[in-house]
Amino acid sequence: MSYEQTGTRHSYQPKRVATMRASAITPASHEAFRQEWDANFDTALQKARELRKKGFLVEESLQRGALMESKAKSLAESLKQRGCEVELVPVAKWAGENVVFLIYKPTEKAKETTEPKATAGTGKEPTPQDIIDAFVKNFTYNYPSGSATPDPIKLPTEGYVPDPKHLVALVDPTSSSNVPTVDKLRTAIKTMQPTVLFENSTKFRVAANRLRAQLKKKHGDSGYVTFDGKGDKTVDLDVFIKSLRSLGDGPMLIFASPNRFDPIYLVRERPPHLAIAMAPYIEPPPDKIVKISDIEKEAANVKVGAK
């Protein structure tokens, strides 16, 4: 499956509609939601102001918009694992589920987690060129006829560099390119909450490799990793590991569109803000899937220096 798809139907629908309980979405339900939202918004905002006095990042949180509670809880777990304190402020209900603001406060542990760390072997953060070089190395394919290598010449002009198989693409979200792969990432960063937040590290990659080895031993292939816990937002695990190696250590964001055919983006949270678009794998076998939370749990048991 290529990371670029054509001929996909697009239609307006409320955020997260795919995860809501089955119900008729009528003008009346929209109106009822709007009335409840308007009635409760000031109370929710007052709660947010009270949290701001306690050190919560209210402006930064509210800029990300409201979320379905199930989505907010998933993000809250990721933030808590990074040492943040999290509050969910309900505003209204949609299809029986709360719509909430997710408001968070970094603790000292979170500050230590997100503080820039030296890249192993270089003593500094990776430069854009370091990431480009790593991407080319990780996604070069060797065939009997010779090597097929990504061509980084496209990055300055088109904002992205596809690999020869079109399974992934290195993307610069700051580019002014109108290429769909770039434009979709810019839109996601501006309008969506990340699906997952996690720390890319040697321990995390070792854990991912261990789980890949287990799947390969059991099934004969490397398997897949899901970012929503249900198998709907899934990519090839080998592609994911190579993408992690390419972008280097540090906090990472996953952006997965409700459109299951859109690329799934792995984004560096701190400079350089490059990203990798990964082709989604549609309906993978359930017994060949690992959750990203499984990798995080395995990483907690990895000792420094482990292989």
> pLDDT 10s per residue in the chain (307 long)?
455 443 333 322 333 333 333 444 567 777 777 788 788 888 888 888 888 888 887 765 665 567 778 777 877 777 777 778 888 888 888 778 888 888 888 776 544 444 444 344 344 689 999 999 999 999 999 888 888 999 998 898 899 999 999 999 999 999 999 999 999 999 998 888 888 888 999 999 999 999 999 999 998 888 999 998 777 899 999 999 999 999 999 999 999 988 889 999 999 988 899 999 999 998 899 999 999 999 998 998 887 654 4
Q: Distance between CA atoms of 210 and 202, rounded to whole angstroms?
A: 12
How big is the CA angle at 220 (ends 219 and 222), to the nearest 5 degrees? 90
The whole-number pLDDT of residue 63 equals 54
The whole-number pLDDT of residue 13 equals 32
Domains of the chain: which residue ranges?
19-113, 116-299
pTM, to two decimals: 0.66
The whole-number pLDDT of residue 114 equals 43
